[in-house]
Structures are given as structure tokens and as C-alpha cells.
Amino acid sequence: MAKTALAEQSKESKSKDLETVENKPNPLMGQVQGRYQEARGFLTDVRAEMRKVVTPSRKEVQATTTVVLATVFIFAFYFWVVDSIFTYGLAALMAKLVGPQ
């Protein structure tokens, strides 16, 4: 009889321990669920934005490529002129200060 009472008592204490463990909120689980919800929301937003993306036509690509190439050549010419002016000016200044070499 004493053994049966002890067995029942230990079963009750184990079940109470399990109940308290199961009823306590797990902070780690909340963090995991929060991260999952954030990632899911992010991917939903990415999908919505990707639906807005439009592939340019061949004519648009050719036009923008032409503009970019023309701009590159214009800037290259501009920097070449400015560099030549500075090189000539520095050479003239050095010739006056140091003398011909």
C-alpha cells in the first residue's frame, strides 16, 4: 500500500512538472517564430517588387548604351584636355623656376 501511494505520488509530481514545463512560454520559440515571420514578410515583399520589374526592349537598351558611350568619350576628351593643360603649365612653371633641363 505504501509503495502504491509513493508510486502515485511520484506520477503526480512528474505530471505536475510536465504541466509546468508545457505551460511556460518558451522565449526561444517566440524568437524563432518572430524571425520566421520577418523572413516570410521580406520574401513576400521581394516577390511583389519583382513583379513590378520590366525588361527593357532592345531599342531602349541600344539608346541608353549609345548615351553611355557618348558620355564616356566626352568625359575622356575633357579630362585629356585638362590634363594636357596642367602638364604644359607645370612644365612651363618648372622651366622658369629651375631652368631648362
The count of domains in the chain is 2
Model confidence pLDDT, tens digit, residues 12-57: 665 555 555 556 666 667 777 788 888 999 999 999 999 999 999 9
Over residues 73-100, the mean pLDDT reads: 93
Residue at 2 is within a domain: no
Average of per-residue pLDDT values in the chain: 83
Overall pTM surpassing 0.85 (yes/no): no
- pLDDT > 70: percent of the chain: 69
Q: Does 72 lie in the same domain as 32?
A: no
Contacts of 101 (CB under 8 A, 6+ apart): 95
| pLDDT at 43 (0 to 100) | 95
Burial of 78 from C-beta contacts in 10 A (0-12 / 13-18 / 19+): exposed
Q: Does 62 lie in the same domain as 97?
A: yes
Domain span including residue 94: 56-101
